[in-house]
Structure 1
Amino acid sequence: SLTTLSSIDLKREAFEKWKTGYSSAYAVILFVTVFGLASIYVKALNKVKDR
C-alpha cells in the first residue's frame, strides 16, 4: 500500500500473512536500497566537508 511505511508493510507480510519468502526478499531489497541511499548521502557529505 502506498500510505504505509515499508517496514510496517514488511512486518504485516511476514507475521500476519505468513509470507516469509516474500517478506525476506522484500527485506533484502529494502536493506540494499537504504544502504545505497545512505552511502550516496555520506559521500555527498564528505565532498562538502572537504571543500
Structure 2
Amino acid sequence: RASTTEVASITLKRQAFESWRTGYSSAFAIILFVAVFGLANIYVKALNKVKQR
C-alpha cells in the first residue's frame, strides 16, 4: 500500500519487486515517464520564451 507521502518511484519499485506486479509497474512506469517528459517539455518551452525576451 502506498501512503500519501510516498514518492511515485518508490511505489513503482515496491509494486515491481515486492508485490511482483510487473504488468502494473510497467504501465505505471510508462505513465510516469510520459508525465515527466511532458512537464520537462513545458518547462523548456517556457525557458525558451523567457530567453527570447
Give TM-score scaled by structure 2 length: 0.93
The CA deviation string for residues 1-51 of structure 1, in whole angstroms up to 9 with x for no partner, is 321000000000000000000000000000000000000000000000000
In 1, Cα distance between equivalents of 2:28 and 2:40: 18
1:40 to 35, 39, 42: 42
Q: Runs (4+) of structure 1 moved beyond 3 Å?
A: none
In 1, Cα distance between equivalents of 2:46 and 2:26: 30
Q: How many residues end up aligned between the 2 structures? A: 51
SS at match of 1:18: coil
* Identity fraction in percent: 73
